[in-house]
Amino acid sequence: MRMKVKEEIRKYSKLIKEEKEKNKEVEELITPEMRILLENKRRELSRKKNKSINIAEQELNEAKINYELACEKYKMKEGAVPTLGSRKSRCKVKLDDAKDLYELEVLRCNYHLEKYLNSYAENLLRLNSITHSFDVY
């Protein structure tokens, strides 16, 4: 699972860079009025993104707490109980997994945000060109 998550993280990092480059190209072409619409849409989507990220963050915090508790129990027993050491190891693995999943969720949300904003800006440009073509006639 860990390798698959790492691959997904790399994939989304690359896709985000591509979408940001596309956004820069499109934003150069849009008018100030369209820029305001785009910024409003960005704020709206950021609020939704934060809700999704908060869920992943809660899972990460739970994993941190479980790991810290396992470490405390392990320290109190001075390693005398072998199951506590393995519990600490399992909690460490879960913590690392939660960190990776949190990072993946953040990247996934950012990618979808950039992709949506890019298509939104392109649609604004198309709409603008259509209305200008009617103005000419």
- Place 137 in a pLDDT band, splitting at 50, 70 and 90: very low
pLDDT given for residue 133 in this prediction? 58
Spatial distance between the Cα atoms of 57 and 54, rounded to a whole number of angstroms: 5
pLDDT at 1: 64
The answer to the question of residue 51 being in a domain is yes
| 41 domain residue, yes or no | yes
Residue 19, domain member (yes or no):
no
Owning domain of residue 98: 2-8+36-136
- Split at pLDDT 50, 70, 90, the class of 132 is low
Q: Is residue 25 part of a domain?
A: no
Q: What is the residue-averaged pLDDT of the chain?
A: 80
Q: Does residue 57 carry a pLDDT above 80? A: yes
Please state the rounded mean pLDDT for residues 43-58: 82
User: Taking the model in full, what pTM does it have?
Assistant: 0.68
The total domain count for the chain is: 1
pLDDT at 81 over 60: no
Residue 22 lies in a domain: no
Question: At CB < 8 A and 24+ separation, what contacts does 21-28 make?
Answer: 22/118, 23/114, 23/117, 23/118, 23/121, 26/118, 26/121, 26/122, 26/125, 27/121
